[in-house]
């Protein structure tokens, strides 16, 4: 859980922002595919709710008032981001995503995993206009956490707004869905993504746009995406160069492996291989991820992965 990071351009989803601007309730459920840009939209909504300057024609925040400057700086006092735990109390990656009751109630956060809890956050009057709680991953709310939140949604202190974000509405507890107005966030067009890349000072690379597939959330992590794509290309090229280059490339990948991006970039780079080869490579990738989640030896796991890929693509 953290404060609100800087908000990227939101012109990719103007209709969603217009719908949110007309909403007068306590809770919105923003649904859409992974990395489609739901979090950027939620931040834009939060910015608009607290903006005190002249609003844009679609209800977007001015970007210049004190509240907007706080949003851009990533330290807005009236916006709280709640997300699933990324690590366990021992510091290892969490095997199961979960937003526990401790994220909501200070008294239930025995391990002190959260700096700010929803209840205490909402006890304070807004600094600007309205307190906003963004729950990024509503499908990962535990029943206890969801029930505690619902009490706040029904009678939000100081008129607070809740923004629930979910990839699959069917996985969200029905009690949360029933108390929220639903708004879909659709993938952006390739042209819109190209314009956003240019606005961000980046070249609208065709491969990057193809990989994004309309997911505006990718713009938040361009450097990571580019790096993961290059790593995937390097490994794929090394597979045909021989056993030693393949093992060396796998060792290099191990040092930089990002579970959020590398599995997807690897599959993207493999997209031109025959279906039967991709299926075997996917199996090898699944085995690698399973080994890493089971805390097996990373070095050995990546060596086995390289060998399995060479076999899958007929390089043995």
d(CA 20, CA 12): 15
pTM score of the predicted model: 0.79
Q: pLDDT per position in the chain (316 positions), as tens? A: 444 444 434 456 778 888 888 888 899 999 999 999 899 899 999 999 999 999 887 788 998 999 999 998 888 999 999 998 764 454 455 556 889 888 888 877 777 788 888 999 999 999 999 999 999 999 999 899 999 999 899 999 999 999 999 999 999 999 999 999 999 998 988 988 888 888 777 788 899 999 999 998 888 888 999 999 999 999 999 999 999 999 999 999 999 999 999 999 999 999 999 999 999 999 999 999 999 988 879 999 999 999 999 999 999 7
What is the distance between the alpha carbons of residues 70 and 259, in angstroms, rounded to a whole number? 31
Domains annotated on the chain, with CATH: 14-186 (3.40.50.300), 204-312 (no CATH)
């Amino acid at each position: 859980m953290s404060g609100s990071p800087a908000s990227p351009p939101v012109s990719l989803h103007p209709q969603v922002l217009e719908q949110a601007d007309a909403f007068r309730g306590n809770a919105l459920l923003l649904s859409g595919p992974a990395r489609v840009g739901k979090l950027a939209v939620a931040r834009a909504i939060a910015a608009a709710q607290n903006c005190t300057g002249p609003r844009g024609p679609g209800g977007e925040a001015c970007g210049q008032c004190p509240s907007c400057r706080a949003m851009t700086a990533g330290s807005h006092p009236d916006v709280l981001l709640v997300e699933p735990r990324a690590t366990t109390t021992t510091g290892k990656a969490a095997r199961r995503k979960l937003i526990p009751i401790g994220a909501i109630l200070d008294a239930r956060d025995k391990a002190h995993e959260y700096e700010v809890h929803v209840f205490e956050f909402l006890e304070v009057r807004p600094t600007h206009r309205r307190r906003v709680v963004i729950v990024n991953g509503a499908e990962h709310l535990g029943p206890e956490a969801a029930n505690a939140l619902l009490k706040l949604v029904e009678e939000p202190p100081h008129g607070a707004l809740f923004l629930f974000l979910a990839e699959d509405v069917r996985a969200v507890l029905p009690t949360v869905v029933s108390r929220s107005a639903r708004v879909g966030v659709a993938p952006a067009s390739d042209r819109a993504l190209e314009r956003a890349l240019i606005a961000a000072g980046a070249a609208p690379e065709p491969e990057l746009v193809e990989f994004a597939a309309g997911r505006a959330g990718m713009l938040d992590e361009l450097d990571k995406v580019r790096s993961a794509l290059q790593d995937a290309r390097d490994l794929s090229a090394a597979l045909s160069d021989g056993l030693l280059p393949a093992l060396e490339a796998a060792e290099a990948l191990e040092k930089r492996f990002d579970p959020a991006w590398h599995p997807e970039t690897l599959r993207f780079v493999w997209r031109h291989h025959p279906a039967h080869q991709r299926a075997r490579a996917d199996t090898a990738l699944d085995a690698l991820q399973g080994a890493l989640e089971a805390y097996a030896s990373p070095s050995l796991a990546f060596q086995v992965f390289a060998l399995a890929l060479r076999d899958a693509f007929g390089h043995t």
